């Protein structure tokens, strides 16, 4: 009876769970790597969204600046017309 109990016991088999342990380690490592890849992809997508949002804001700022410059140019042209008219009167 002792022989049968020892024969089925894993206490005497030193490396009986090494294959299972290795498989578990490989699975855990693969899951960690996939998680890191997903996090990296998410960060890249967030950066891309921020850059897209920033690009839209930059376009709006450029459009606003262009309108301001155009307005100021018209005001300066009007001022020059007035100034040249005042000079001609003298």
pLDDT along the chain (90 residues), means of 10: 50 67 87 90 84 75 91 89 68
Predicted confidence at residue 59, as pLDDT, reads: 83
Q: How far apart are the first and last CA of the chain?
A: 131
**Rounded to whole angstroms, how far apart are CA atoms 47 and 53?**
10
In this prediction, residue 57 carries a pLDDT of 77
Q: What is the pLDDT of residue 1?
A: 45
pLDDT of residue 67: 92
DSSP states along the chain:
-HHHHHHH-SSS-TTTTHHHHHHHHHHHHHHHHHHHHHHHHHHHHHHHHHHHHHHHHHHHHHHHHHHHHHHHHHHHHHHHHHHHHHHHH-
- pLDDT number for residue 78: 87
Domain definitions of the chain by residue range? 19-89
Residue linked to tokens 């891309």: 48
């Amino acid at each position: 009876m002792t022989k049968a109990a020892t024969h089925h016991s894993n206490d005497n088999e030193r490396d009986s769970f090494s294959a299972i342990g290795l498989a578990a380690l490989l699975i855990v490592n693969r899951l960690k790597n996939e998680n890191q890849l997903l996090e990296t992809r998410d960060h890249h997508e967030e950066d891309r969204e921020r850059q897209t949002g920033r690009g839209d804001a930059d376009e709006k700022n450029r459009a606003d600046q262009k309108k301001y410059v155009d307005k100021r140019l018209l005001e300066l042209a009007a001022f020059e017309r007035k100034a040249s008219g005042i000079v001609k009167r003298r």
